[in-house]
C-alpha cells in the first residue's frame, strides 16, 4: 500500500519565484487497485507523482510504501514511472536492448533479462519479431510501448502512468490502454493513472483523486465524481461524453460506459411511454 500523509511542497522557497505546488495532500493507494489522479495543467499532478516516486525530495509530510519511507533505497525498485512521451528517452540500437537496459543495471543474469524482455513485450502487445529492430524505425505507438515495456521489465509493484496516451492517435491509444489495463493489471501491478481524460478514468479507475491549485477537491469513485458538476468545474474538468449525453437529454444521472447509457435511455423512454398511455 502507498500512504501519502500531509504532503506539501513549495518550489524555490524563500525567493521571489516561490510557488506552492501542493498543500496538505493525504490519500492511500490499496494494493491491486487503479487509482486515477485528475486535474488541469498546473494542479500539482506531476509534482505529486515525482514525490511518490522519490524523484524529488520530501520537505513536508510523508510518503510510505509498504510501511517504509519512500526515501528507503529498497523501495525504489518497487515503483516504476512512465512520463508523458517516454519514447523521447529511447536511445539503444534495438528494441531488445532498450527494454533490457534497466534489468541489466540491476545485475540480473542474461537468462533472466531475456525472460523479462519477452514478458514485457507481451504485456504491451509488441510482436517478438521486433526485438532486433531499431526503436526509431517504429511507429509512435510502438515506440511508446517499447518505453513502457522498459519500465515493466523492472517488475515494479507500483506503476505510475503520466498521461500514457498523450499524442497517440485514437486507434493506438485504444490498443495501448487495452494492453495496459488487461495483461499488466492481471499481473497484480498497482496502477496510478495520471490523466485529465474522464473517459479513460471512467473505464479503468476504481477511485479518483482530483487536484486543483495543489489541493485535493475530491476523493471517491468515478461515478461519484461525475455527479459533482461543481467539483468538475472547479478542477477544469469535464464529465465523459456518455454522462454529458445523459445530461443533454435531461436525465440527471451518470453512466460510465455506452452500454450503461443506452440502458438508462431505453428505461427512460419506456417509462415516459408508459406514463403517456395513462
How far is the CA of 57 from the CAs of 83, 136, 157, 159, in angstroms?
A: 18, 34, 21, 19
Cell for 119? 514478458
How far is the CA of 86 from the CAs of 82, 106, 141, 150, 187, in angstroms?
A: 6, 20, 11, 10, 22
H helices of 56-163, in order, are 95-105, 110-123, 140-152
Domain 2-93+151-236 has CATH 3.40.1350.10: no
CA distance 31 to 130: 33
pLDDT for res 210: 96
CA-nearest of 80, 81, 63 to 72 is 63
Cell for 53? 516516486
pLDDT, one tens digit per residue, over 111-155 is 999 999 999 998 888 999 999 999 999 988 888 899 999 999 999
CA distance 168 to 138: 13
pLDDT for res 10: 94
Domain extents for the chain?
A: 2-93+151-236, 240-278
CA distance 158 to 142: 23
pLDDT, one tens digit per residue, over 170-188 is 888 888 888 888 777 777 8
pLDDT for res 229: 84
pLDDT, one tens digit per residue, over 10-56 is 998 889 889 999 999 999 999 999 999 999 888 999 999 999 999 99
User: What is the pLDDT averaged over residues 78-82?
Assistant: 91
User: What is the pLDDT averaged over residues 78-97?
Assistant: 89
pLDDT for res 173: 84
Amino acid at each position: 500500500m502507498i500512504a501519502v500523509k500531509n504532503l506539501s511542497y513549495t518550489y524555490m522557497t524563500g525567493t521571489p519565484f516561490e510557488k506552492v505546488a501542493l498543500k496538505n495532500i493525504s490519500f492511500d493507494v490499496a494494493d491491486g487497485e487503479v487509482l486515477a489522479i485528475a486535474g488541469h495543467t498546473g494542479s500539482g499532478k506531476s509534482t505529486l507523482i515525482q514525490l511518490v516516486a522519490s524523484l524529488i525530495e520530501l520537505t513536508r509530510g510523508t510518503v510510505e510504501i509498504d510501511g517504509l519511507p519512500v526515501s528507503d533505497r529498497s523501495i525504489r525498485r518497487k515503483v516504476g514511472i512512465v512520463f508523458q512521451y517516454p519514447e523521447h528517452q529511447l536511445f539503444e540500437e534495438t528494441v531488445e536492448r532498450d527494454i533490457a537496459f534497466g534489468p541489466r543495471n540491476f545485475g540480473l543474469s542474461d537468462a533472466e533479462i531475456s525472460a523479462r524482455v519477452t514478458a514485457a513485450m507481451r504485456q504491451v502487445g509488441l510482436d517478438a519479431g521486433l526485438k532486433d529492430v531499431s526503436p526509431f524505425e517504429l511507429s509512435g505507438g510502438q515506440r511508446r510501448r517499447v518505453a513502457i515495456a522498459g519500465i515493466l521489465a523492472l517488475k515494479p509493484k507500483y506503476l505510475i502512468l503520466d498521461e500514457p496516451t498523450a499524442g497517440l492517435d485514437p486507434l493506438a491509444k485504444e490498443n495501448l490502454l487495452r494492453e495496459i489495463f488487461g495483461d499488466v493489471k492481471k499481473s497484480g501491478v498497482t496502477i496510478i493513472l495520471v490523466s485529465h481524460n474522464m473517459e479513460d478514468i471512467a473505464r479503468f479507475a476504481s477511485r479518483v483523486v482530483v487536484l486543483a491549485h495543489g489541493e485535493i477537491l475530491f476523493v471517491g469513485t468515478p461515478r461519484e465524481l461525475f455527479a459533482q458538476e461543481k467539483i468538475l468545474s472547479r478542477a477544469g474538468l469535464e464529465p465523459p461524453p456518455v454522462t454529458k449525453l445523459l445530461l443533454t437529454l435531461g436525465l440527471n444521472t451518470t453512466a460510465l460506459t455506452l452500454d450503461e447509457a443506452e440502458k438508462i435511455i431505453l428505461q427512460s423512454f419506456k417509462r415516459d411511454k408508459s406514463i403517456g398511455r395513462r
